[in-house]
Amino acid sequence: MAKNYDELANTIIQDVGGKDNVNSVVHCATRLRFKLKDEKKANDDALKETDGVVTVVKAGGQYQVVIGNEVADVYDAVVKEGGFEAQGQVKVGQEILSLQGQNETEKVTGQVQTN
């Protein structure tokens, strides 16, 4: 039976400042990668203390919530609970982006707009 990630997704959305604070969200192999409107609204400490979250990293203009191997399932729940458009996985480094429906800017930046 598949684990239900809805509660974790709701906690993550709340602690990144709410769905209105999210410009975009994608994931890589282990992390949810958010572009936030205002990183000051995110509650780093609460996220770090959340079961299912390993840590939080701020890098490359992204607010990254490290989940681990279950990130794809958590991402699906975040998309569902936040009402975001699902875009799939971004592979980092030399690998190819595997996003669906992206425009040319998104292909270059690896970020997909949610609005």
On whether the CB atoms of residues 47 and 72 are closer than 8 A, the answer is: no
Tens-place pLDDT, residues 76-92 = 999 999 999 887 777 66
Other beta carbons less than 10 A from residue 115's beta carbon: 8
Tens-place pLDDT, residues 14-52 = 999 999 999 999 999 999 999 999 999 999 999 999 999
Give the residue numbers annotated as catalytic, written as ranges. Answer: 28
Three-class secondary structure of residue 79 per DSSP: helix
Q: What is the pTM of this model?
A: 0.78
At 60, is the pLDDT very low, low, confident or very high (cuts 50, 70, 90)?
confident
At residue 35, the pLDDT reads: 95
For domain 6-109, the CATH architecture is 2-Layer Sandwich (3.30)
d(C-alpha 101, C-alpha 103), whole Å: 7
